[in-house]
Structure 1
Amino acid sequence: MALEFLKHDVNANPSQPLLLHPAGEILGRIGSLETRLARNEREVDAAQAVRFRVFVEEMKAQLPPDAMRLRRDVDVFDSFCDHLLVIDRAIEGDVEDQIVGTYRVLRQQVAMSHGGFYSASEFEIGPMLERHSDKQFMELGRSCVLPAYRTKRTVELLWQGNWAYALRHGIGAMFGCASFPGVRPEEHALALSFLHHNVKVSGEWAVSARPELHREMDLMPREGVDARKALAAMPPLIKGYLRLGAMIGEGAVVDQAFNTTDVLVVLPIAAISARYINYYGADAGRFAS
């Protein structure tokens, strides 16, 4: 399925995705790896192929027949989101062959012009957005990295790209679904209970799973949760969010199609640990100016 992209310059309509970073393509670089936004339809197609390899071939997601036939994880959001790529320049071949990881990014201005955020299908995010009408939100999703590249430096590079992007667009908070493998929340009772008891959103950031989809995360009493074992049982992406200072929404959602149990991550920029702002800001700031 071909995707139609419009060409934008730096003064383009803010409700449309920005496919080229105004300060140049590169948002971060570590060794032979670099991160930047997808520039064209071919690169987005290659990112969708990476997503298919991870979500379908590895995690056993069930996509619509057309997507399965094309061997691409693709949906309607792809055509108006920005796509952050991790590229390994040490791989021989075209740039499409060098894409080893990706993140899908959706800014609030763009989302509101196209029917809303992806996460709204699982979580009641509307009240949170209304309470923070003075902030611009950014949704992160479809995060995946090929197995050989699931290293600390790849995760750091993805976050360097996200941070540069957030700085460029004046983002006040990030959020998005993060997943545990499988559709039985009880299998993740320790980790889910830790999240519920220790980092559940509250107050002005309160957000919960849609009532008809809500699955309890409070599966163990607080006193029965071993924090060290719970953190060891977390998917790396969720642990990375927690290190930055993220909170987790109330209730989980089972996604049968993707064979996952989802939680909502909420990360206000003001809550990000100062040491991480210093770490990422020192380098990513120059890419975002």
Structure 2
Amino acid sequence: MQPLRKGHYRARLAETPDDLRAAQRLRWICFLGRNGAPDDGSALDADALDAECSHMLIEDMRHGTLVCAFRFLPLADGSQIARSYSAQFYDLDALQRFDGPMVEMGRFCIHPDCHDPNIVRIAWAALTRFVDETGVEMLFGCSSFVGCEPEPHEDAFAMLKERHLAPRRWLPRVKAPRVFRFARALRMRKPDPKRAMAAMPPLLRSYLAMGGWVSDHAVVDPALKTMHVFTGVEIRAIPPARKRLLDAMLNGTA
């Protein structure tokens, strides 16, 4: 994939060991540093899957700094889904029947000092190009809520329960030892739409706008101090208006 530019940002795939270390350093800052983990200035967030993934870097060309990173794990079809990061936390047997190319998007992070919405826009433009060039038919991953207690996010969880649960044919089942079964616990709760969207992680909002769906439970991850839901998007099901917006971002007209 060729580098993609929007304003003073550039999206490109990591090419060198230094590129990968920069992404792992940013991930540590976003996922572990915010929780007060000790740091000597060189701590990294790394795992065995990094070697199997492509890593996308979003750089601010004014300063040469990395402001956003995420990774892709391509799978030929659902028969390979046990290789994914998500499969550590969810029973994904139902998705083994998916017969098209898939990609897991993970470790999405934006530097905590950066708040420009154009960073997310170029990230989604880069993702759109990657999907178009590789013929991916399903995008999936874990979308994280900060903290391990459900109460601050109950309106968001109630909205997910009411409007965005996975189709039964793809529904992930419980595997992790600590989960919050929000579809069951909040079955009688009606969400406040404004509070729900305010509590929804930005990445998850983007998934949902593309017709995405989620698991019926959230996994509690005490290591990262988050709660996350499995999230999937079938590319052919993306609403036409949203697809036009993604294409416009890719072509530099939005």
Q: TM-score, normalised by structure 2?
A: 0.89
C-alpha distance in structure 2 between counterparts of 1:197 and 1:115, whole Å: 29
- 2:207 is paired with a residue of what secondary structure? helix
The structural deviation recorded for 1:46 is 0.5
**In the aligned structure 2, how far is the partner of 1:276 from the partner of 1:87?**
25
* Corresponding residue number in structure 2 for 1:79: 51
Q: Are 2:72 and 1:100 aligned?
A: no
Question: Which residue of structure 2 lines up, in the alignment, with residue 31 of structure 1?
Answer: 7
**1:272 is the counterpart of 2:238:** yes
Q: C-alpha separation between the residues in 2 aligned to 1:240 and 1:35? A: 18
Q: Of the candidates 219, 225, 236, which is equivalent to residue 259 of structure 1?
A: 225
Alpha-carbon spacing, 1:122–1:152, altered in 2? closer, same or farther (3 Å): same
Match of 1:159 in 2: 124
Tell me which amino acid in the other structure corresponds to 2:132: L
Percent identity reads 26
Find out whether 1:242 has 2:208 as its counterpart. Answer: yes
Question: TM-score normalized by structure 1?
Answer: 0.79
Contact kept in structure 2, 1:83 and 1:103, CA below 8 Å: yes
2:73–2:104 CA contact under 8 A, matched in 1: yes
* Partner-residue secondary structure (3-state), 1:74: coil
1:233 is matched with 199
Equivalent in 13, 16, 25 of residue 49 of structure 1: 25
- Distance in 2 separating the partners of 1:83 and 1:112: 23
CA distance in 1, matches of 2:144, 2:57: 20
1:39 CA drift (Å)? 0.9
The structure whose residues are more often strand, as a share, is 2
Give the structure 2 partner of residue 197 of structure 1. 162
Please give the per-residue CA displacement for 1:199-246, whole angstroms capped at 9, x wherever unaligned. Answer: 001233322332644421134345532122211111212112111221
Which range moves more in the overlay, 173-182 or 203-212? 203-212
Is 1:177–1:262's contact at 8 Å kept on the other side of the alignment?
A: yes
Displacement of 1:51 after TM fit?
Answer: 0.7
Aligned residue pair count: 251
Displacement of 1:37: 0.6
For 2:104, the equivalent position in structure 1 comes to 139
Deviation at 1:187, TM superposition (A): 3.1
Displacement, 1:30?
Answer: 1.3
Matching residue's letter, 1:76? A
Q: Does 1:168 align with 2:140?
A: no
**Residue identity matched to 1:57:** G
Q: 1:209 is matched with which residue?
A: 174
- What's the offset of the Cα at 1:111? 10
The letter for the 1-side match of 2:107 is: R
Q: Residues 223 and 56 of structure 1: is their aligned pair in 2 closer, same or farther, counting only changes over 3 Å?
A: closer
The verdict on how the C-alpha distance between 1:70 and 1:147 changes in structure 2, with shifts beyond 3 A counting, is: closer
- 2:16 aligned partner: 40
* Letter of the 2:34 counterpart: E
Q: Deviations over 1:123-177 (max 9, x none)?
A: 11232132x12x1111011000012323321111111111111111110010000
Selected match of 1:129 from 70, 75, 96: 96
